[in-house]
Amino acid sequence: MAVMEAPLQQARHATRWDKDKGILSWLTTVDHKKIGIMYLYTTFFFFIVGGIMALLVRIQLAEPQNKFLTEAQYNQIFTMHGTTMIFLWVIPVLAGFGNYVLPLMIGARDMAFPRINALSYWLIPLGGLVMYSGFLFGGTGSAGWTGYVPLTEKAYSPQVGQDLWILGLHLLGISSMFGGINFLVTIHNMRAKGMTWFRLPLFAWSMEVTSALVVLASPFLAGVLLMVLLDRQAGAAFFVVNQGGAALLYQLVFWFYSHPAVYIMILPAFGIISEVIPVFARKPIFGYRAMAYSMAVIAVLGFIVFVHHMFLTGLPLAVQTFFSATSMIIGVPTGVKILNWTATLWGGSIRYDTPMLFAVGFLLMFLIGGVDGVYVGSLAVDYALHGTYWVVSHIHYVLFGGSVMGVFSGIYYWFPKMTGRFLNEKLGKLHFWLMLLGLNLAFMPMHILGMLGMPRRIASYNNNRGWGDLNSISTFGAFLIAVSVAVFLINFFVSLRSPKNAPDDPWEGNTLEWATTSPPPKHNFDVVPEVRSARPVRDLRRSARPAAV
Amino acid sequence: MTVTNVVAFVDVSPLHPQGPVGQHINDVFWPLFWVSVVITAGVSGAILYSALRFRRKHDDEEPVQTHGNNKLEIGWTVIPFIILVSLFGLTAANMGVIASAPQGAMTIKVTGVRFYWMFDYGVQKANGKELTTIKDFYVPVNTPIALEVRSQDVNHSLFMPNINGQMNAIPGQVNHTWMQIDKPGDYTGACTELCGEGHWLMDFTIHALSQSDYQAWVAKQQAGGQ
């Protein structure tokens, strides 16, 4: 009986949601590929919005005592810049790649829970909408992406926008957690025949580790935001000092989430780079196991470094010293990764298509972001650099020089798979060089500004401080980044309208997504090849090659 | 970098320390700086060399399929570990001085208020009120001063970059740090923790006076002068 029922069920499925075209097919889809593409479109939209916020911030700071924005506007705009780039861009865009690529990579039909997957997606535009609607109701959240109490208490941030900021973040947190559970179940249960843990593509490893972090850490963000909301709306006084609360408690819980979150924002980019470099260097990744283990070690250590965000809060010296040690030691697994990527390049046969340019750019920029992080991990130096533009520089080298370069590497790499078309190489290369130059002009001067004692998050500065020239350079760099993104957008829309020119396996890929058509059929694979190594598609190519060679 | 930048760089940068706490921060900064310059240059060089040297020459090249090298990988796990532990050791060795004021230091209470700093010198004026100042901070040179840092409203951070770095001011708790300035002159401080719209206006001037000038200033204030 069961055998007879199966085709019927498939048919019912087909009529219910498997429409191919039109708006409805997107609104109702549970196909991981369509959901993944919607993730990418939505998050890219927020990248542009957050980028416009960044430009407004940079215009305001370009010269001393600028009156371009009021202080109230400035605080809202830099808060929305940070919150958008972290929670509506970097985290979900990487989850978007996970959605599109991961099931293909492990030879699965879809994610384990397709409808929960759709819910994860829909919560993102909703969360963004809730957060941004603050602009319509007298102002958004304005206490920075970290939202420290007591500044976020009603007494100091009375606007409803601060509540909407909390509610928006809640929705995004729920989206992440659903997504994390979905990825974990998918990776654990739906791998192709023969795909053991040590044949798992490193991008899948990165999603495994990231998802574990999401599931373990995000509830703490949800919890601490709920506490702030209860303080604001129900007088709970968790953090109100004169009613028996403790202001510092917020930071402890917040950073217990938000430091692991830093790795949520970078590990999938590690995964992308670990796929791109071996393909374009025609070599296996150097030290596969070390690459997988180092991500796991980073995840574990990531939970015991968070106090370095709180070195100046008056915690006992012994506590600070312990966390200073762990914060510096976490440089070890990260260093291993950089050196293993470099060793993968060594002796390779490297082809520089745009994905590879972004991957090498990632290595160089992330190296800077890793090294300048050690300064603020050192307790003593952190006393001087904490809360200055040094930190702004550090986070942007990691998240822009690292994660965003990784994202663009991934976009150029998988665009042919998603659309059957290449992105234009000339425009791609122009995009890369403009972005690399722009980001260094924008963020390198911030190191010096930090050493000159420029505090972060200031709405302006007096002209006797000598910070004007460096800030002007930084603003120029930010606009150069904007130009590079415009080049990308032109490339994207032009390429999307050009004829299909990409074969199924345009880069000589290693992983299973290259074994299916470009774009893949709804069911992903007609036949899932059996996996015999970490590079199954390379195995297929070689077995198909004429014996004479 | 213009001349004004260079001057400012010298004046307020933590790299130009004024006094023992800043000096110890500086003592950690410079070794860290040189180690990081060497590492960044070395690794960038290795990345760029590999990236440029091993470009594909023929489309049918098949490079040697190296899967790893345990000795190398153990090496570049252990060596960074040793370097980072050494830098941590250097940090820890200097924290004793940075974190705790010497015995017998005079105490000044600093309170962060939106949007200014208030300094309470622990001295009574003739009219019975405490001697306090806002936005201007008077200290004697060559004198260790323990600072009790408080906040009256939201979080602030008392930032004197080239003197002693910083310390957060958090409502409901008293944080301790200390400072000592060796040379008379005016120095600039600020707030490094977002506290609202006037965050950037919390700059203050530290007036380091010779000990006799400081005593004279205190006496004048006590008598009720401006």
d(CA A480, CA A486): 10
Which residues in B lie closer than 8 A to residue A336 (C-beta atoms)? 73, 76-77, 80
- Which residues does residue B165 pair with via DSSP β-bridges, in sequence order? B160
**pLDDT computed for residue A25 by the predictor:** 87
Helix (H) or strand (E) holding B107: strand B106-113
Q: What is the tens place of the pLDDT at every residue in B102-112? A: 999 999 999 99
- Which residues does residue B132 pair with via DSSP β-bridges, in sequence order? B120
Q: Which amino acid does the sequence have at A264?
A: I
- DSSP conformation letters of B169-187: E-TT--EEEEE---S-EEE
d(CA A519, CA A522): 9
Q: Do B7 and A466 touch (CB under 8 A)?
A: yes
> Are A404 and A90 spatial neighbours (Cβ–Cβ below 8 Å)?
yes
Q: Using CB atoms and an 8 Å cut-off, which of residues 124-143 of chain B contact chain A?
A: none
Q: Do B62 and A282 touch (CB under 8 A)?
A: yes
> Are A224 and A250 spatial neighbours (Cβ–Cβ below 8 Å)?
yes
Q: How many CB atoms lie within 10 A of CB A548?
A: 4
Q: What is the tens place of the pLDDT at every residue in A233-272? A: 999 999 999 999 999 999 999 999 999 999 999 999 999 9
For A504, residues 6+ apart whose C-beta sits below 8 A from its C-beta are: A514, A515, A516, A517, A518
Structure tokens at A326: 């762990």
d(CA A128, CA A168): 6
* Prediction ipTM score: 0.93
Picking from B48, B54, B164, the nearest residue to A347 by CB comes out as: B54
**pLDDT computed for residue B189 by the predictor:** 94
Under 8 Å CB pairs connecting chains A and B tally to: 281
For A109, residues 6+ apart whose C-beta sits below 8 A from its C-beta are: A103, A190, A523, A524, A525
> Are A439 and A396 spatial neighbours (Cβ–Cβ below 8 Å)?
yes
Picking from A314, A381, A451, the nearest residue to B32 by CB comes out as: A381
Structure tokens at A260: 């692991």
Instruction: Tell the residue number behind the tokens 């040793």, with chain if given.
Output: B82
Q: Could you tell me which of A288, A96, A263 has the C-alpha nearest to residue A183?
A: A96
Under the banding of pLDDT at 50, 70 and 90, the label for residue A548 is very low
> Are A259 and A302 spatial neighbours (Cβ–Cβ below 8 Å)?
yes
d(CA A53, CA A59): 10
> Are A398 and A473 spatial neighbours (Cβ–Cβ below 8 Å)?
no
Chain A's closest residue to B2, CA to CA, is A469
> Are A90 and A39 spatial neighbours (Cβ–Cβ below 8 Å)?
no
Per-residue pLDDT for B81 more than 80? yes
> Are B33 and A251 spatial neighbours (Cβ–Cβ below 8 Å)?
no
Picking from A332, A338, A459, the nearest residue to B199 by CB comes out as: A459
**pLDDT computed for residue B12 by the predictor:** 58
Q: What is the tens place of the pLDDT at every residue in A526-536? A: 999 999 999 99
Best of B152, B200, B203, B205 to substitute, by most chain A Cβ atoms within 10 angstroms, is B200
Q: Do B5 and A466 touch (CB under 8 A)?
A: yes
> What average pLDDT does the segment B149-162 reach?
96
d(CA A125, CA A131): 10
Q: HSE of A463 in the Cβ direction (CA atoms, 13 Å)? A: 4
Task: Report the residue count for chain B.
Answer: 226
Q: Residue B14 phi/psi, 5° resolution?
A: -60, -15
**pLDDT computed for residue B104 by the predictor:** 92
Q: What is the pTM of this model?
A: 0.94
Q: What is the tens place of the pLDDT at every residue in A53-79? A: 999 999 999 999 999 999 999 999 999
Which residues in A lie closer than 8 A to residue B179 (C-beta atoms)? none
d(CA A51, CA B166): 31
Q: Do A325 and B153 touch (CB under 8 A)?
A: no
d(CA A173, CA A336): 31
d(CA A78, CA A401): 19
d(CA A520, CA A265): 28
d(CA A58, CA A479): 9
Q: What is the tens place of the pLDDT at every residue in A390-424? A: 999 999 999 999 999 999 999 999 999 999 999 99
Per-residue pLDDT for A363 more than 70? yes
For A409, residues 6+ apart whose C-beta sits below 8 A from its C-beta are: A272, A273, A276, A355, A356, A358, A359, A362
Q: Do A350 and B162 touch (CB under 8 A)?
A: no
Instruction: Tell the residue number behind the tokens 């919890």, with chain if given.
Output: A223
Under the banding of pLDDT at 50, 70 and 90, the label for residue A547 is low
Picking from A143, A288, A381, the nearest residue to B68 by CB comes out as: A288
d(CA A131, CA A141): 8
Q: Could you tell me which of A212, A219, A220, A217 has the C-alpha nearest to residue A185?
A: A212
d(CA A314, CA B20): 20
Instruction: Tell the residue number behind the tokens 């252990």, with chain if given.
Output: B78
Q: How far is CA B15 from CA A453, B9, B182, in A?
A: 10, 8, 15
Chain B's closest residue to A534, CA to CA, is B67
> Are A165 and A84 spatial neighbours (Cβ–Cβ below 8 Å)?
no
Q: Could you tell me which of A269, A267, A274, A273 has the C-alpha nearest to residue A295?
A: A267
Instruction: Work out the mean pLDDT of chain B and round it to a whole number.
Output: 91
**pLDDT computed for residue B17 by the predictor:** 87
Question: How far apart are the CA of B95 and the nearest CA of chain A, in angstroms?
Answer: 6
Picking from B12, B84, B159, the nearest residue to A329 by CB comes out as: B84
Q: Using CB atoms and an 8 Å cut-off, which of residues 55-94 of chain B contact chain A?
A: 55-57, 61-69, 72-73, 76-77, 80-81, 84-85, 87-88, 91-92, 94
Under the banding of pLDDT at 50, 70 and 90, the label for residue A24 is confident
Q: Using CB atoms and an 8 Å cut-off, which of residues 1-20 of chain B contact chain A?
A: 1-2, 4-5, 7-9, 12-15
Q: What is the tens place of the pLDDT at every residue in A432-489? A: 999 999 999 999 999 999 999 999 999 999 988 889 999 999 999 999 999 999 999 9
Q: Which amino acid does the sequence have at B31?
A: P
Picking from A290, A328, A466, the nearest residue to B8 by CB comes out as: A466
Which residues in A lie closer than 8 A to residue B187 (C-beta atoms)? none
Q: Could you tell me which of A194, A57, A22 has the C-alpha nearest to residue A478?
A: A57
Q: Do A331 and B203 touch (CB under 8 A)?
A: no
> Are A404 and A267 spatial neighbours (Cβ–Cβ below 8 Å)?
no
**pLDDT computed for residue A8 by the predictor:** 44
Q: Which amino acid does the sequence have at A407?
A: V
Q: How far is CA A401 from CA A369, A414, A441, A443, in A?
A: 8, 20, 12, 9
Which residues in A lie closer than 8 A to residue B39 (C-beta atoms)? 371
Task: Assess whether the previous peptide bond of A201 is cis (omega < 30° from 0).
Answer: no
Q: How many CB atoms lie within 10 A of CB A22?
A: 8
Distance of CA A210 to the CA centre of its chain: 10
Structure tokens at B165: 């770095």
B165 shares contact with chain A (CB less than 8 Å): yes
Under the banding of pLDDT at 50, 70 and 90, the label for residue B127 is confident
For B52, residues 6+ apart whose C-beta sits below 8 A from its C-beta are: none
Best of B170, B175, B191, B201 to substitute, by most chain A Cβ atoms within 10 angstroms, is B170
For B82, residues 6+ apart whose C-beta sits below 8 A from its C-beta are: none
**pLDDT computed for residue A18 by the predictor:** 53
d(CA A213, CA A207): 10
Q: How many CB atoms lie within 10 A of CB A230?
A: 14
Which residues in B lie closer than 8 A to residue A360 (C-beta atoms)? 47, 51
Structure tokens at A358: 């972004």
Structure tokens at A132: 């941004």
Q: How many CB atoms lie within 10 A of CB A347?
A: 17
Best of B192, B201, B202 to substitute, by most chain A Cβ atoms within 10 angstroms, is B192
Region class of A227: left (phi > 0), else alpha (psi between -120 and 50), else beta: alpha
Chain B's closest residue to A466, CA to CA, is B5
Cβ neighbourhood burial of B58 (10 Å; 0-12, 13-18, 19+): exposed
Q: Could you tell me which of B8, B32, B97, B187 has the C-alpha nearest to residue A470?
A: B8
Q: What is the tens place of the pLDDT at every residue in A302-346? A: 999 999 999 999 999 999 999 999 999 999 999 999 999 999 999
